[in-house]
Structure 1
Amino acid sequence: MPDHDRIPELALEWHREGRGAVIATVIQTWGSAPRGIGSQLVVSGNGEIEGSVSGGCVEGAVILEAQEALEDGTKRELEFGVSDGDAFTVGLACGGTIRVLVEPVGSVISEALLEELCALRASRTPVALVSNLDTGERRLEREGHDERFRLDKSGFAEDGRTFVAIHNPPLRLLVVGAVHIAQALVPMARIAGFDPLVIDPRETFGASSRFPGETVVNDWPDDVIDEMGIDARTAVVLLSHDPKLDDPALIRALKSECYYIGALGSQRTQGLRRERMAEAGFTEDEIARIHGPVGLSIGSMGPAEIAVSILSEMIAVLRKAV
């Protein structure tokens, strides 16, 4: 997980090391902001930072306020009016308002609460950090926020003073078949925020040199999936075009809560695949979860364009756009 996605973990680490830590969270902003609601920045007492609450136009002021908050041990609610000129420098057409909540670890966010939050994140458990900005009460909730978890959407509750910060597990992508399309898809998916894993027992295909810097497992897909599991923040893409590899993984994907299943192949190949899944005991509704031929129909040609269509469909399904 990149450091900018590990704000709670870094805050806990810096606090325990005695460096001090303050978490700044965007709680309200304009609709086209460079950083959305829930975006975070962590600041140490030494001025170290990780993350972002804007495109740079207010970071300096937030860092100063964070260090002052660390000294006096109190939370701060900051509001910045961003001019049209400043907004233009960070890629916006016009200015607006940013509200940022600044919370020192220890005095405001307890170490115990932060530790529990980090433990839930490590176990890939969706959790909401619910903070009442008037009373100072903070608690973790794993239920009652289904829509927010699905949309990955932090924001205020109806009372306008209770902020719900959503902490979803990182998105994962399991690719079965280390083929040429996978070589294009994996780096694109990582840029889009997915954590990819390529599975192929064929060492010639699944050579690490073909996927620099990525995790490639030379084992049977069903064994890998049985060991690691699949959750609702996982996309499974079958690219091997070999039923011996694809089908065992597909069976496990259909039995799981994964949000997306895509399978390479022609309409005839898809028909045969569906027949095999029916023979395996799956219902029509369950089989209908398979997106095949994989990817949005954009007239793509070649591995890179096909990868674009697959990633687009993965995102569209995640955001319920299709």
Structure 2
Amino acid sequence: MADVERGNQSDVTEFILRGFRILHPFQMGPFVLVLLTYITTVAGNILIIVTVLVDRGLHTPMHVFLGNLSFLDIWYMSNIVPKMLQGFLAEKGMAISFNGCIAQLYIFGSQAATEILLLMVTAYGHYLAICNPLRYTALMNARVCIELVSCSWLGGFLFKPVIMAWIYRLRFCGPNEIYHFFCDFMPLVKLSCSDTHLITLAAFLLSVTGTLIPFLLTLISYAFIIAVIVKNLSSTVRRKAFSTCTSHLIVVSTFYGALAIVYVVPTASAAVNLNKTFSLIYSLVTPLLNPLIYSLRNKDVNDALRTMATRLMAFLRR
């Protein structure tokens, strides 16, 4: 059936997401695990957002960054996980319309780009706080904070439109089975019967540019932080600061490492399940780690949570 609404006529009007076919006989185990991870992550991030909004002591640039990261992670997971959960329960895969597939791919790519930028500005905020404490208030004022957050969101969502429009005009003649749990770029483009060499090269160059530069800037920020920690802080404070920096670097490395493996390893069929496994890391594990590492280990956030819990208990006892 032809889809006459698109600029380039195609025979395929929907795709079937096959997900983890190898797990189908044991689908309830992965289903429960993913569902619990999703609920835990969403609940944790909502708690952080509410805490940042309610507690005036957390109305600072750094906590604004963390609140935006929490909001993004909720949306990030909600774009992918519901379909993934349905796929675990569907023997023949999960159907998604052509337009729905393109929308999911665009939202996912934009959210990943925004996450990269937010992790970068969060690292920059930590750099200013530790390396320039006397000038921090002047350098990271409300206006700069709003500009950094706005640029992260705008930059993330203006990153993909050209590639998405290009994909939208590709011809898909069949088959329509995507062996993934969401509409990712390579599994989708491989199904096209158009010449995809140019779009694949363009997407690769765009992704490398948009990922490598923020990653290097993030590493540079933490390198300066570690240098200041080594030179100026006492051994007790140094251990605590190193612990915090190490935790942040673990999250950043996990996120970037999974992205790199997915988009660098060969696209042969033998690598399909490997790609899907590492896709789970940046779509499930990283959003779970972000509130645990960046926020729940933050002293100010913990103090605010304890204050909220105390007030809530006092209110319930009335």
| TM superposition score normalised by structure 2 | 0.21
Name the structure with the higher helix share. Answer: 2
- Higher RCO (CA < 8 A, seq sep 6+): 2
